[in-house]
Amino acid sequence: MVEVRVLGTGCARCNELEKMCFNVAAENNIDADIQKITDLKKIMSYGIMQTPGLVINGKVKISGKLPTAITLLHWMQEEK
């Protein structure tokens, strides 16, 4: 199971990223635990300076922008 954490306090892109994660996981039958983290202190503990942030299995993958769906799928498969 891949542990996916979307870091964001509620900006438009943060919601978009969360939706993307759900879609990619569903379309490719990836068993993923996707959660959104909105608590600022927790977000900051990952050391990112821009939201949205994406953490997969504890590793920060991207911050401040949206990945493409293909990249996202690649990351999820890589960490599976």
Partner 1 sequence: MDAGRKIKEEKTIKVKYKNKLWIVILLIILWFLIYLNLERLSAIINDITGLSSIKDGYAGSIEFFIYEVPKVLMLLTLIVFLMGIVRSFFSPEKTRVLLEKKSHFLGNILASVLGIFTPFCSCSAVPLFIGFVEAGIPLGVTLSFLISAPMINEVAVILLFGLFGWKTALIYVTTGLFIAIISGFVIGKLKLEKFVEPWVYEIKSIQNSEEEKITFSDRIDSGYLAVKDIVGKVWIYIVIGVGVGSFAHGYVPEDFMAGLMGKSAWWGVPLSVLIGIPLYSNAAGIIPIVQVLLEKGASLGTALAFMMSVIGLSLPEAIILKKVLKLPMIFIFFGIVGIGIIIVGYIFNLIY
Residues engaged in binding partner 1 (CB under 8 A): 9, 11, 13, 40-41, 43-51, 60, 64
Catalytic residue among 2, 4, 7, 14: 14
Look at the block and give the residue holding tokens 């969360």: 18
Kindly give, in sequence order, each residue whose CB lies less than 8 Å from that of residue 8, ignoring residues fewer than 6 positions away. 14, 15, 17, 18, 36, 37, 38, 43, 51, 52, 53
Q: How far apart are CB 37 and partner 1 at their closest, in Å? A: 12
Tell me whether residue 4 or residue 30 sits nearer to partner 1 (CB atom): 4
Query: Nearest to residue 65, comparing CAs of 14, 20, 22, 19?
Result: 14
Tell me whether residue 49 or residue 70 sits nearer to partner 1 (CB atom): 49
Q: How far apart are CB 47 and partner 1 at their closest, in Å? A: 4
Question: 57 is written with which tokens?
Answer: 């299995």
Q: How far apart are CB 26 and partner 1 at their closest, in Å? A: 26
Active site residue 21: no
